[in-house]
């Protein structure tokens, strides 16, 4: 077997993220994804070029988008000879796509790839209930006018009520926010700690723009030049004024609209390659994707829905023989401030490490100064499938600016899963 090749992260491009029903209210998953790929292609001179594979997807899907990755790459102007693969693992979709593609590069199956994700809450599919849906199907199959009328026998106008897409977990009936509230209570995460983390995320993200770090990461789109959720003036006083969003009745609710990610539209893409492919085209290598890990837990029977990243990170570090002391930067997706804080507390908890992670000693505490130094999802927003690519692209640039360093990425997902990755600087 040939020696494994390094997985080069050449660069990334993403659209400014927008709160749902604002700047991208007329956009679709497809148009957003195509715009992100197009921005990436413009940045690296790939228009009309064949890429070995584009992989990615969206979480909130229309039936018309049966292979959105392929359609998006064609709309973006890549060569029609470029294959597209649509895949989805909830909020970890584009990061998992990068890991899948990276494995192919490492094995020598392909030389170039784009991992991409997009989501548009503003373009959520609205469908009819099962009864009316079956009536329409029966009418479509009917061969005579009499049979078509018979399909509507007993019809009531109540059947026309649309069924909006749900973000509730099918196995529990609870929303992600409700699950995060349960985690906050289990781990004793205070409202103030959550608000402090959210304020820090907004301020770090605003400073990142002010210092120009985002300039070559973000591609303006539809009149938007920066994420419209970032609040440079975020403060604890403003956070404290917000009411609980998911537990409004017990008097103990701690999750609010401020310390939870908003519903968001957006897209992001990352260009991966072999070193030779990048070198032949005079393209940079910002960092290397080293390893990833995906894990799941039994959230339907008591495990915290968003705690699976603790397992993925633990297993990944064990395989690499690394500890938190070997990591310089931590890029932890902020679905909710409570999720990040529960995860950090769990990694430092002896009982959790022993019973869940199978470790004799705790993984340890992490210096907050090494976590999300340019802000994260609480500030930028969270278009579900796009977040992994946003974080991976940001991390690669962060490491290019910090030679000889290593970063850990962690993304929680619906369905009780987590995706993690290790990225290292390309420069010693």
The answer to whether 316 and 293 have CB atoms below 8 angstroms apart is yes
The two structure tokens encoding residue 138 = 């029966």
- Which pLDDT score, from 0 to 100, does residue 139 have? 78
Sort strands 406-413 and 417-425 into parallel, antiparallel or unpaired: antiparallel
Mean pLDDT of 263-276: 98
Least reliable range by pLDDT among 9-13, 140-144, 213-217, 346-350:
140-144
pTM metric for this prediction = 0.94
- The answer, yes or no, to whether residue 149 has pLDDT greater than 80, is no
Buried b (16+ CB within 10 A) or exposed e, 122-148: bbbeeeeeeebeebeeeeeeeeeeeee
- Which pLDDT score, from 0 to 100, does residue 126 have? 67
Backbone angles phi, psi at 73, to 5 degrees: -65, -35
Give the Cα separation of 94 and 88 in Å (integer): 8
Mean pLDDT of 312-323: 98
- Indicate the SS3 state at residue 221: strand
pLDDT digits over 326-363, tens only?
999 999 999 999 999 999 999 999 999 999 999 999 99
pLDDT category, 132, cuts 50, 70, 90?
Answer: low
Buried b (16+ CB within 10 A) or exposed e, 169-193: beeeebbbbbbbbbbbbebebebeb
The fold of 176-212+290-422 is Peroxisomal Thiolase; Chain A, domain 1 (3.40.47)
- Which pLDDT score, from 0 to 100, does residue 128 have? 65
List the domain boundaries for the chain.
Answer: 176-212+290-422
- The answer, yes or no, to whether residue 152 has pLDDT greater than 80, is no
pLDDT digits over 31-76, tens only?
999 999 999 999 999 999 999 999 999 999 888 888 999 999 999 9
Residue 29: which residues within 8 A CB-CB, separation 6 or more? 58, 60, 61, 62, 65, 68, 118, 119, 120, 123
Active-site residue list: 91, 382, 412
């Amino acid at each position: 077997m040939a020696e494994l090749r390094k997985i080069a992260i050449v660069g990334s491009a993403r659209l400014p993220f927008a709160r749902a029903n604002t700047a991208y209210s007329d956009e679709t998953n497809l148009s957003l994804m195509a715009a992100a790929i197009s921005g990436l292609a413009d940045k690296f001179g790939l228009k009309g070029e064949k890429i070995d594979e584009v992989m990615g997807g969206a979480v909130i899907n229309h039936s018309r988008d049966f292979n959105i990755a392929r359609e998006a790459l064609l709309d973006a102007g890549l060569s029609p000879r470029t294959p597209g693969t649509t895949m989805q693992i909830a909020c970890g979709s584009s990061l998992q796509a990068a890991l899948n593609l990276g494995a192919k590069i490492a094995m020598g199956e392909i030389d170039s790839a784009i991992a991409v994700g997009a989501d548009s809450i503003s373009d959520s599919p609205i469908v009819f209930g099962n009864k009316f849906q079956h009536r329409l199907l029966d009418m479509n199959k009917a061969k005579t006018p009499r049979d078509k009328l018979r399909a509507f026998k007993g019809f009531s106008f109540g059947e026309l009520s649309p069924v909006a897409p749900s973000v509730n977990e099918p196995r529990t009936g609870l929303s992600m926010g409700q699950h995060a509230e349960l985690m906050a209570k289990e781990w004793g995460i205070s409202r103030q700690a959550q608000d402090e983390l959210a304020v820090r995320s907004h301020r770090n993200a605003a400073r990142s723009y002010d210092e120009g770090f985002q300039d070559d990461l973000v591609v303006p789109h539809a009149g938007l030049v920066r994420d419209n959720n970032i609040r440079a003036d975020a403060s604890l006083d403003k956070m404290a004024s917000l009411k609980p969003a998911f537990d409004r009745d017990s008097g103990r609710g701690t999750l609010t609209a401020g310390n939870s990610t908003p519903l968001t539209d957006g897209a992001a893409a990352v260009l991966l390659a072999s070193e030779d492919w990048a070198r032949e085209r005079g393209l940079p290598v910002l960092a290397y994707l080293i390893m990833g890990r995906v894990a799941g837990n039994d959230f339907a029977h008591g495990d915290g829905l968003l705690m699976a990243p603790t397992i993925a990170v633990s297993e990944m570090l064990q395989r690499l023989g690394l500890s938190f002391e070997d990591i310089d930067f931590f890029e932890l997706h902020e679905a909710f401030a409570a999720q990040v804080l529960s995860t950090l507390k769990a990694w430092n908890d002896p009982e959790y490490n022993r019973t869940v992670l199978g470790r004799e000693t705790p993984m340890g505490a992490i210096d907050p100064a090494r976590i999300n130094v340019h802000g994260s999802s609480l500030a930028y927003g969270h278009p579900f499938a796009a977040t992994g690519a946003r974080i991976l692209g940001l991390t690669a640039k962060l490491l290019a600016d910090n030679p000889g360093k290593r970063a850990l990425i962690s993304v929680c997902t619906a369905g009780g899963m987590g995706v993690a990755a290790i990225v290292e600087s390309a420069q010693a």
